[in-house]
Structure formats: structure tokens, C-alpha cells
Structure 1
Amino acid sequence: MGKVAVIGAGMAAMAAAARLATGGHDVVVHERARTYGGALGRFERDGFAFDNGPGLLVLPAVYRDLFVKTGREPLESRVELVQTDPAARHLFADGTVLTLPNASRAGAVAALDAAFGLGSGERWSDLLVRAREVWEVTRRPLLEAVLTGPDRLAGDPYPALRRRGLFRRAPLLADVAAGELGGDPRPAALLESHALAYGLDPRRAPAAATVLPYLEEAFGVWYVRGGLRALADALYARCLERRVEFRFESEVAGPVVVDGRVAGIAFAGGGTEAADTVVVGAPLPSLYGGGGLVKDAAGPVDEPGRCTVHVALRGSRPVGAAHRTVVHAADRTKALDWVFSAKSRDPLPVPGALTVTVLRPDDPAVRPDAGHEAVTVTATVPRHDTARGGSGLDWTAGDLAESCAERMLAVAEAAVPGLRERELWHEVRTPADTERDTAVPGGSVPPPSLAGLSGALFRPANRSPIPGLYLVGGWSHPGGGLPHAGMSAAITADLISGGPGGSR
């Protein structure tokens, strides 16, 4: 067994470290920040606590497998997982309210029929049946194993439908929404909101993105008591139990390559350290691009980020309030153009052109007492870019961050009536904060790998062309998202240990 240097202490990096240490490797994790967890950050003030990153979990089986494989105990022995019920409430501009039950196909059919009219539920159910076919085709190569034969997944596996005697394909998610949901913009917005939440433009996302709502319906939506930061805490503790060494405020410039093979790491402040294997869980500039070590592999690109507003409220959380509410934009085109079309972008979204997600956990651990409530409001927004005319916005300029937050809170009042009157204070986090805390250029949030689009959403392989150099996390296979982080780690640890790559 050899010495492994892991760069970064995000979820994928820590999961890889825990698996490798369990296998007998000597593992040292180097993290530029003062803490671990990456995107699973935490903000605390006056007895309130908020997740800075994702607030809900899908596919918890990935982390159940991790904790069993690294300690022979269930994940639930370390954190309390709770299925949110309902899975989500959706509010539309015309006043329609859709309440989706958690992990219930029959319940979803009834809910859509009640909200949108008879037949809507069956159309949605049929669409998710086809999404299941996509999942069955792509699950192994796009989540659980090394990506082999990517050409066969470059074409979208979403099934063709018979139209007027011919089989016609829907190459994009927007085509699916327009062609299969009865022409009603509300279920179309429901479908597209899942892609938008992952930073994907539904007008350009592949039809295979239908797997995103399918995963929620098939496997449920879960919350971790205390917030998802508790999952990062549990994984960090598992790493320490496996004798992984952590060095915080240890900024690595990149791997050291000698005679075509990794020999260690180089520090940003000077100096090197020997290692037999290097696992990169951070988007290092030295890795990507024409002059990088991983030739022709795309690192972080111009994907959007997230603006998050943490709100401390006086007054107790109402009984029966939904954990998650999505307030849909009234003007789809303007909403998507503001996020994804730099040339026509105003500094702020115009009224009606903003979709927000409101999280209201029923969790005593995130509020000072029963007479208060912690609410988080998020929206997909342009990345941070200080260049005028660039692909994003300069989130540090003037009052842009606060002005955007005010517009988000105005939209969120549809989900939390009286929010502004109850507000004690709020804290705003923009893609500029994400860039500062995680070193991800622009504060972009990586989407998951999806089939179709000629492989445009595939990520670099976990095993690089340089012997001894491996990649994990959202900027490598299988892309962004908490489940993907866990499987990226499983694939990489298995490769390093001499396996084919994957969880065994």
C-alpha cells in the first residue's frame, strides 16, 4: 500500500480518502480552507443554522454504501435521515398550487390531476416511465462505473415516441415538455425546474435530463437532521476513525510529475511533498486546458452558480408547512435568458423572471427555539465574472447582491406569507462567495453527467492519462451532485486499489 495525497476536503475527496484508508493506504488530505465539506458549508448566527450548499439529498443509498464499506455500520447510526413529505410544493403564477407526495407514483398522478386537470397525471407518469428507461440504460456507466464506450451514450437514450405513424425523438428536455405534457406550461415548468436547479438550461439540456425528476419520485427526497452539513461532519469523523490525516490551510498548486508519472504534490507557497498517488478533488487550473496536465479535458466552464439568502424569522413554523416550495417564474423565456444568455442580460432579473426554491426545515437544531424559524431561499443565477461583457455578473459590484436578494425574498413571500414582517435579518451568499470559499472559478455549480448532446455533459475520466493521478468530484466523472460525489469516490478508490472502478 502506498502514500496517497488527496487535494481538497469536499465530499468526493473525503469519501475517496475514507475508502482508501480502509483499504490500507496512508492518506493525507490537503485543504486550502480552514474546514472540510466543500459545498456543504454552514452559516450560523444567533442560534440559527443554515446549509450553504444543497439542503436535500436524493439517492442516500450512495452514502449508505460508503459507511458500510468503510466501517460496517449503517449511515443512520451517524445521522438521522428523514423523508420530506410532501416532496415539494410548486406555486405557479396563475395561482395554481401543486403538492407532490414523496416517492409515490400514484400520489403524483392524483396531485397533477387535481392541480392541472384530468389526464395531466397520466401524461406525467408516462413521461417518468420513459425516464426510467433512460435511468436503466445510463445508471451503470454514468454513475456507478468508469465511463467506457462513451460514444454509445453520446446519443440521447430517451425513447422515441410514435407520432402520426412515425417514431420521433425529442432531442432536448424542452421538446419533451412541449410535446408530451399536453401543451400546458405548468407541468412543463415542473419538468424544467429540475434541470434549472442543477444549473442546466432546459432549452439546451438533453431529453435524458428527465431522469432528474424520476430519481426524486423513485428514491425519495431526504433531509438530514441538523442540516446536510451533518453529513459532512459524519464523513469527516469516519475519515479520522480510519486514520486519515487532514492538513487545513494547506494550498496545493498541483501534482508533481517526474518521468511521466506522479511523484507528489507542489504547494502554492513553495515546496513539495512526495506521494505515490495523487487524488485531485479540487478544480486546479494546472490540470485542464491545452497547457494543463490533463490535455483536452474541460475543467470548470461557464456554468451558472447559486444565490442563497438565509433568513432568520421571528414566529414559529406553521404546522403543515412544506419543507420545500418552488415558486415558478411567470415569464419562462425572460427567466432563462437572464441566467443563460449573457448578451441580453440585465444586472437584475425583471419582475416575474425569477424561479426560487424555499426551504423550511422542521428541525429544532437549526433555530434557537420554537418561537423562531430558519428559512433558506435559493435561485440559479449567472456565475461570478468581473469582466465587463463576460459570461456572468460581477457579484461584488455595488449593491447587486443585496438587490438580487430583495427580489428573491419578494418572490419567496408567496411561499412564506408575511416573510418580510417576520424577518429579523438575512444573510446573502452569491457565486462570488462560492468562488472565494471553494476556489471554483466563477462559483459555478457543476451539473451531473447526462447522456446525449454528443457527450457535451460528460466529464474527464477519474483515472487521468498520467499514471498515479486521479480526479474526483463534480469536475470529473460522473459530474456534480451529492450522489455523484460519492460514486466518483467509489470509482476512483477502486481503480487505485487495482479494481475495474466502481463500488463493490
Structure 2
Amino acid sequence: MAAAARLAVAGHRVVVYERTETYGGAVGRFERDGFAFDTGPGLLPLPAVYRDLFIKTGKEPLEECVELVRVDPAARHVFPDGTDVLLPNASRAGAVGALNTALGSGAGDRWGDFLVRAREAWDRTRRPLLEEPLWADWQVLGEREPYPAVPHRRLLRTRRASTLAEIGAYELRDARLTALLESHALAYGLDPRTAPASAAVLPYMDHAFGTWYVRGGMRELARALYERCRARRVEFVFGAEVVRIVEKDGRAAGLELADRTVAEADHVVAAVAPARVAGLTERPLQEDGDVRPGRRPALAGRFTVLLALRGGPEAGAAHRTVVHAPDRAAELDFLSGRAGAGDPARPTVTVLRPDDPALRPDDGHESVVVSAAAPLTAGREAAGTAERFAELLVTAAESAVPGLRERLLWREVRTPAHTARETGAEDGSVSPPALAAAEGRFLLPGNTTRLPGLYLAGGWAHPGGGLPHAGMSGALVAGLIVEGPDFRGSQ
């Protein structure tokens, strides 16, 4: 939709063909008995991406189309040793002070120093990984680790972390700070033992640009963008499954639908997984080679438990609470598939408690979303695994929600299989943002393909998953179509 709105403003006639019966993809909603829950992203980082989109596509700015609420504190973190800390929104000094108080003198200072280095990695990668089409020589992005080396006083030399886990071990030197760092990667199903140190940009984005909530739920953002598209005369055809991308004279020339209808087009934008796109064409879409963007297999999906509770939230309840795993090694082994699929480990759990009347029947009730990264097989291979894993999530959520068990009316369990059915995402996997280093294994396929006229957008194309990145992919595709292959990026 981000690409469609921009292209329509540029004078193109745009038609969106959607396999399901509604818009929004993974930005979905579940409703029952007066309760409503976001089934995809629950918070909005980097809202500037959508502010820019609404400014460029109409007279009404984003804030006139949805109500943005700054989440403060940004998060409450509950650690296995019982330590509990509230981190303020977008305040380095505030975070340093809170961590020094909760974890001991010096802990917050080490976190503050880390954020300074993470900013350096952000400054080095922001433009090529978020605002420009993927470079033709993308290998350059995989060769050098943008996260800076750190001087080691005792060894009288510098030491460069190559993974996120090594940042924790070398620089943070506190299991709780390490858990805080790694939780940002785990939210995308990334194993910090293999994720490059450049993933430090994920907590930096959270810190630097703040965390925001859309009143009424994140589905309201999808609704506002859908309405902006309609106002720009974008057409939507729902229940329309594409079975083939039509080629003519060596370029994409339209779509064939399941009912054998053919829609002609000058350009085709595909917002589905590249493997699915490749199955719709008569040729491979990417260059051959052992290492290329998108070659890294997806290993994890999102497992969610929706809780309908009696009784409203207590005064001062944190909007977001992260309950950290009691056994880091067991969590990571289960997430990476090294442990048996039927033997789930307690994961790092995110609990969202938006104090929003639009999501509950009345003030005497509360809707809560509990989620964690999980292997794609969770709830599918072994009988009862889904219920056992859901129980682990609910048990963790008790640390965030007082009296949860006594207040519980019902719960709805959603596994990666739900994501696959509802969005078409391959196996229900979570798409991470593009990251530099690691020989390019954490880059995503570029927005252009080997088939002229065919473009890739959305979470499974450059610059990757997450609401800001999806919005930027729309800007990049629109720029490539409007300005041609010489387009050098968003301004």
C-alpha cells in the first residue's frame, strides 16, 4: 500500500490484487466478545517513515489520520533474578540512570557507552540499508562490520565484536544487560549468537526515535493507509489470488489470476516472499551464487497468546513489559532448532497492555497480547507443543500482569501456522530488517529483479521486515518506477 499510494500520486493507475478478503497483510486484528487484539506489530518505531508517506501522498498529515501516542516508559524489563527496571522513552541519560539504580553502579554507564557505538553503526548503515535501493555491489555491505571496535585497556589493543552475543560478553559484561540487548534481536527471531554485531542498530532505533502506539490498535494505521490509497484512486481487488506473472517481450506485462483472468500492466510490484514470486515466473529472479541477499533460511516465527481479562489495568501499568528467559542457552537452542520440537523452553516474552478503550468491552476488562519468537515447527510437529508453549508464555506474563490467572476469561493461541495462512508468509516466518556484515547473509533481495518491470516490496525485500522498513520499501519501489534505474534513494 505504501508503494501504491506513492505511485498513484505520481500519476499511475494502480490496482492492488489481494489474496485474502481484507487489506493490511500482517497488520491484522482479532475480535471476540467485545475484545480486540493486534495480531501483528503492536508498536510503531520510527514514525517518521509514515509521516513522510502521508505528507507525500495527501494534504492530511499522519496525525490527522490516526492518533499517535508516545509510549512512556518505553518498556519495563523483568529479569530472572527478580530485578525490575523501567526504561524511559528516547532518553539515553534516563536509561543510564535507571539501569545504574536497578542493576548496580556502572551497568547503566556501560549501556550508555554501547548506545554511542550503536549510533556509529546506525550512521554508517542508515542510508544504504534503509533509504537507498540495494547496491549492485551489495557484497561490500557484507564485508565490513559497521559496529566499531572497542579499545581493551588491559590488552592494549582493540577488540571487534562480530556478533551481537559478543557485544554482550565483551562490552556489557552483565547477564541482564546482555538479555536487554539480545531481546531486540529475539523479537525478529534472530539468534544473537549468529546475528552480526550490526544488529546493535535495533536497540538504538528504539532508544533514539522512541516507541509509539496508534490509538485503536495498529490496525488503525493499516486502515488509514488503505483510505489514503482509495483517496488517491487506487483500486483494490480482494479474494484475488495471483497464479502467474505474465511476461511479454522479455518483461513483466501483467498478472494471471486463479479464475484465469489476465490483468495487463506496465509494472508489477510483488509484496510476497521471493520464493513465492519465483514460482509465479518463468525464470529465476536473483543472480546465482553461494552467498546472496535472501539466501539465509528463515528459522523463526511469532507465537502469540491473546488474553481476555476481567478487571481493568492497574494504575501505572506499563504498556510493554519484556520478561526475560530464565535459561538463555535453552531458549536459543530451542529457537534455533537444536532442541527437540516437542520440548519447548521458556522464551523471552513481550507483554503488551495498551490502555485503550477501543480494545475492550468496557473499563472493567482488559485485552493483553503476549508474544515470543518460536521455531516454525512450534505447535505443528509434536502433539500438544502449542499448548505447552502457550502455557510457558502465560506463566511468564504473570510477572507483568497482576492476578492474571484469576482474571482470565479466555485465551486465543496463534502459531506461525496462523501467520502463514493469513499472510502467505512462507511457513509463517518473521522477516527481520536487513543488517550489514556477515557476508551479506542478513541482507534481503533487492527491489529490482532480473525480469524487467517486476519489483519486490514488503518485508521480504530490501530493506526487510518491520513497519518502518516495509514503508521504506514502498518508497524505494515507487522511486525506481517513477525515476528509473538511476534512482538513488529517498530524500
State the TM bucket, normalised to the shorter chain. Answer: over 0.9
Mapped pair 1:137 → 2:130: no
Mapped pair 1:161 → 2:150: yes
Amino acid at match of 1:454: E
Structure 2: how far apart are the matches of 1:108 and 1:265?
51
Q: Which structure 2 residues correspond to residues 376-395 of structure 1 after superposition, within 5 A? A: 376-383=369-376, 392-393=377-378, 395=380
**Cα deviation code 1:317-366 (max 9, x no counterpart):** 100000000100110000111111x243241424xx32111000011111
Structure 1: how far apart are the matches of 2:162 and 2:175?
19
Mapped pair 1:467 → 2:455: no
Amino acid at match of 1:239: C
Q: Is the 8 A contact 2:320 2:352 kept in 1?
A: yes
Q: Which structure 2 residues correspond to residues 161-200 of structure 1 after superposition, within 5 A? A: 161-163=150-152, 164-181=155-172, 183-200=173-190
Structure 1: how far apart are the matches of 2:237 and 2:490?
27
Which of 298, 319, 327 does residue 302 from structure 1 map onto?
298
Mapped pair 1:252 → 2:242: yes
**Cα deviation code 1:427-447 (max 9, x no counterpart):** 111101001111111100100
In structure 2, the partner of 1:444 is 429
Amino acid at match of 1:150: W
Q: Which structure 2 residues correspond to residues 222-233 of structure 1 after superposition, within 5 A? A: 222-233=212-223
Q: Secondary structure at the match of 1:401?
A: helix
* Cα deviation, residue 153, structure 1: 1.9
Structure 2: how far apart are the matches of 1:300 and 1:17?
29
* Cα deviation, residue 249, structure 1: 0.3
In structure 1, the partner of 2:50 is 63
Q: Secondary structure at the match of 1:255?
A: strand
Which of 15, 20, 27 does residue 33 from structure 1 map onto?
20
Amino acid at match of 2:222: A
Structure 2 CA distance for partners of 1:192 and 1:98, relative to 1, 3 Å: same
* Cα deviation, residue 393, structure 1: 4.0
**Structure 1 runs not aligned, ≥5 long:** 1-13, 384-391
**Structure 2 runs not aligned, ≥5 long:** none
Structure 2: how far apart are the matches of 1:284 and 1:216?
28
**Cα deviation code 1:430-481 (max 9, x no counterpart):** 1010011111111001000011101111111111121111000111100111
**Cα deviation code 1:51-97 (max 9, x no counterpart):** 00010010000000000000033100000101111100000111000
**Cα deviation code 1:70-125 (max 9, x no counterpart):** 00331000001011111000001110001100011110000110111111111101
Structure 2 CA distance for partners of 1:419 and 1:35, relative to 1, 3 Å: same
Q: Secondary structure at the match of 2:269?
A: strand
Mapped pair 1:362 → 2:362: no
Which of 124, 127, 139 does residue 151 from structure 1 map onto?
139
Structure 2 CA distance for partners of 1:284 and 1:146, relative to 1, 3 Å: closer
**Cα deviation code 1:392-445 (max 9, x no counterpart):** 345276333223212210111011121011001111111010011111111001
Structure 1: how far apart are the matches of 2:393 and 2:27?
22
Q: Secondary structure at the match of 2:394?
A: helix
Which of 79, 91, 104 does residue 92 from structure 1 map onto?
79
Q: Secondary structure at the match of 2:372?
A: strand
* Cα deviation, residue 170, structure 1: 0.5
Q: Secondary structure at the match of 1:111?
A: helix
Aligned length: 479
Q: Secondary structure at the match of 1:26?
A: coil
**Cα deviation code 1:250-275 (max 9, x no counterpart):** 00023111231111112234342211
Q: Is the 8 A contact 2:341 2:381 kept in 1?
A: no
* Cα deviation, residue 284, structure 1: 5.6
Q: Is the 8 A contact 2:379 2:386 kept in 1?
A: no
Q: Secondary structure at the match of 1:465?
A: coil
In structure 1, the partner of 2:320 is 324
Which of 110, 127, 149 does residue 123 from structure 1 map onto?
110
In structure 2, the partner of 1:238 is 228
| Runs (4+) off by over 6 Å | none
Q: Secondary structure at the match of 2:479?
A: helix
Which of 196, 208, 212 does residue 206 from structure 1 map onto?
196
Which of 41, 47, 51 does residue 34 from structure 2 map onto?
47
Amino acid at match of 2:170: G
Bigger mean CA deviation after superposition, 258-267 or 131-140: 258-267
Structure 2: how far apart are the matches of 1:79 and 1:337?
41
In structure 1, the partner of 2:405 is 420
**Cα deviation code 1:279-333 (max 9, x no counterpart):** 0011264534898530346479333001111101001110000000010011000
In structure 2, the partner of 1:8 is none
Structure 2 CA distance for partners of 1:498 and 1:166, relative to 1, 3 Å: same
Structure 1: how far apart are the matches of 2:38 and 2:301?
16
Structure 2: how far apart are the matches of 1:119 and 1:272?
64
Q: Is the 8 A contact 1:84 1:222 kept in 2?
A: yes
TM-score between the two structures when normalised by the length of structure 1: 0.92
Structure 1: how far apart are the matches of 2:422 and 2:310?
29
Structure 2: how far apart are the matches of 1:482 and 1:90?
23
Structure 2: how far apart are the matches of 1:199 and 1:79?
29
TM-score between the two structures when normalised by the length of structure 2: 0.94
Q: Is the 8 A contact 2:55 2:62 kept in 1?
A: yes
**Cα deviation code 1:163-214 (max 9, x no counterpart):** 2222221101100011111x21010100011100111100111101111111
Structure 2: how far apart are the matches of 1:170 and 1:281?
34
In structure 2, the partner of 1:82 is 69
Structure 1: how far apart are the matches of 2:108 and 2:245?
52
Q: Is the 8 A contact 1:32 1:248 kept in 2?
A: yes
Q: Is the 8 A contact 1:262 1:277 kept in 2?
A: yes
Structure 2: how far apart are the matches of 1:286 and 1:355?
31
Q: Secondary structure at the match of 1:110?
A: helix
Amino acid at match of 2:423: T
